Structure 1
Amino acid sequence: ARGEIVAFTDADCLAQPDWLVELTRPFADPQVAGVRGKVASDAPVTLVEQFTHQADPLGVEALGGLLSMITANVAYRRRILEQVGGFRSEMFTGADVDLGWRVQQLPGARVVYAETAVVNHKHRTTLSGLRRQYQRYGFSEVMLDALYRGQPFYRRSPRRQVVTMARQTAALFRYLLSFVYRATRSLLTGWDRQYVLWPLLWLAADGSNLLGKIQALIQTRFFTRHPARGGQEVLQ
């Protein structure tokens, strides 16, 4: 990239015609270092796509107290990228969030959300794809916890993460009970595929997310080191 502004999107995203114009518009303010755009769903068709659309894992979220700047839809000033050293090459997942957090810690640097800069994301269409995606989300979340634990800006402590994991574990049993109830009820009222299978999709997503977190806990020795290398093999 040679321009003053460097924009990113992913291979599974389709940018709207005015995406780049809207994404770069906030840079008229010289204090703006980065811009996060909106990631919308690309016409969900399968049940798995519909689930991901409603779960909205790529929505705007302030993870750890800072805006999550994912490469599905983001732009930075080139000099800012050079100043922070770009992506950490040793990170195979979560590197975009890490980059955004490092940018936001620069003195005087601002990042903003541009809702009118839209890309449409093609969600995973199969259950196996959904499980791999959520497993990676969980792994990268704990990996970032290990990297940023103790930082003044970081609000998600290891204890908070462990509490979240305990709640996720309890939720798995609720999903199973909900599935049994819905399946039994449907025998009497008529079969509704989405109504019956929805808890199983949550079970697959949350269970895979929890598995990724457990794998990352092992890799980080319970948040005490950053597993920059070797994590990719764990998730394969």
Structure 2
Amino acid sequence: MTFSVSVVVITYARPQFVRTCLEHLGRLESPPHEIIVVDASPDDRTKILVAEEFPHVRVLRNDLGPGTMPESRQIGFADATGDIVAFIDDDAYVDPDWLDELRKPYADPAVVGVGGRASNGIKGEETKGLGEIGRLLPDGRLTGNFGANPGRVIEVDHLLGANMSFRRSALQAIGGIRGNYPGTCLCEESDISLRLKRAGGTLVFQPAALVRHVAAPYTSGGKRFDRRYLYYARRNHIVLLARVYGWGHPLVRRYVWSTIRAQSDYVWEMLVRFGPRMADGSRRPFVRRITSPVILTRAVAELAGLVAGFPAGWIARRRDRAMGVG
């Protein structure tokens, strides 16, 4: 059986990336059923570009603006008509056989989601974390390692938002895609995956379904892995665990303790930076030594996010119940 695939590209103020992304989609060996671009930009540059250069592509509007990637995905999903809905970011450029490889695992009716590999051009990423691709760990943390290549299809717990797909019927059955993962939008794709797993579905990682991920940060404020990122990473993770598993689940308290223990790494780094000698034996600049406590502000950001996750999770769970979304 051949499954029809709707491809949804989400974007914010990056028309140049959208152009390259759509050019690669146009070179697929098997074309998709449809391509939908969901644009949250503050201007019409992307809309105009797509209309002029890719008239077969449908453009939908997300008026909520930056920091609303899951809302953009839901807008695209609600409009899609394919058997499978595949999501890629505007900076993820597909290989010609991407769609064919993405389809293959769906021959198993138990498979409700298939994710592909994202090559970031980082040396050694093909072998890094081969044993922990897309896993939910016992302490509540999530592993990535989506640049690794195990050489075969493997079962996983969650998928990478830049290269993931789902059976439309399975996603409809759980109420679609939930929003309320603000800031850097971390954990929003994991929310979809973990809910589908809880509903009894199987998710797999297909390394042959490859995208080249430029991974340039969005211009919606802040830099990747800065203190803002750390804050929302912890905040959204607590929200994720609470929404999917409930406050009483052991994963919630284990994640809290693992986060608190992890802050000792910043203390150790501060002490190392305060030392009089560099790793090569040279003398460390005095200004570098006296400013070493600044590293502890990263711990403050993480712990603040952890605390903020509790009221945010409570509000999100209340909204979910009111909307009947599981």
TM-score category (smaller protein): 0.5 to 0.7
Partner amino acid, structure 1, of 2:267? F
- 119-128 or 141-150: bigger deviation: 119-128
Q: Return the match for 1:122 from 215, 227, 237.
A: 215
Match of 1:103 in 2: 196
In 2 relative to 1, CA 214–34 (structure 1 residues): closer, same or farther, beyond 3 Å?
A: same
| Aligned-pair CA distance for 1:67 | 0.8
- 210-219 or 125-134: bigger deviation: 125-134
Distance 1:186 1:85 in 2: 53
Structure possessing the higher radius of gyration over alpha carbons:
2
Match of 1:61 in 2: 135
Q: Report 1 or 2 for greater relative contact order, CA contacts < 8 Å, sequence distance ≥ 6.
A: 1
Superposed CA offset, 1:138-193 (max 9, x none): 111111122234489x65132x1221122122222111112334x722574499xx
Match of 2:21 in 1: none
Distance 2:100 2:120 in 1: 20
| Aligned-pair CA distance for 1:39 | 2.8
Match of 1:140 in 2: 236
Q: Return the match for 1:10 from 89, 113, 117.
A: 89
TM-score w.r.t. the length of structure 1 is 0.68
Superposed CA offset, 1:2-28 (max 9, x none): 211110112333333332222222112
Tell me, yes or no, if the aligned pair for 1:36 and 1:73 is still in contact at 8 Å.
yes
Unpaired segments ≥5 residues, structure 2: 1-79, 143-155, 285-291, 320-326
| Aligned-pair CA distance for 1:226 | 4.1
Match of 2:53 in 1: none
**1:147-166 paired onto structure 2 within 5 Å:** 147-150=243-246, 156-158=251-253, 160-166=254-260
Distance 1:179 1:123 in 2: 29
| Aligned-pair CA distance for 1:75 | 0.7
- The reply to whether residue 70 of structure 1 matches residue 160 of structure 2 is yes
In 2 relative to 1, CA 138–12 (structure 1 residues): closer, same or farther, beyond 3 Å?
A: farther
Distance 1:204 1:26 in 2: 45
In angstroms, what is the RMSD of aligned CA positions?
Answer: 4.0
Unpaired segments ≥5 residues, structure 1: 45-53, 192-198, 231-236
- Richer in helix (by share): 1
Distance 1:228 1:101 in 2: 15
Superposed CA offset, 1:36-64 (max 9, x none): 222332459xxxxxxxxx89xx9522255
Distance 2:308 2:178 in 1: 21
Distance 1:151 1:218 in 2: 12
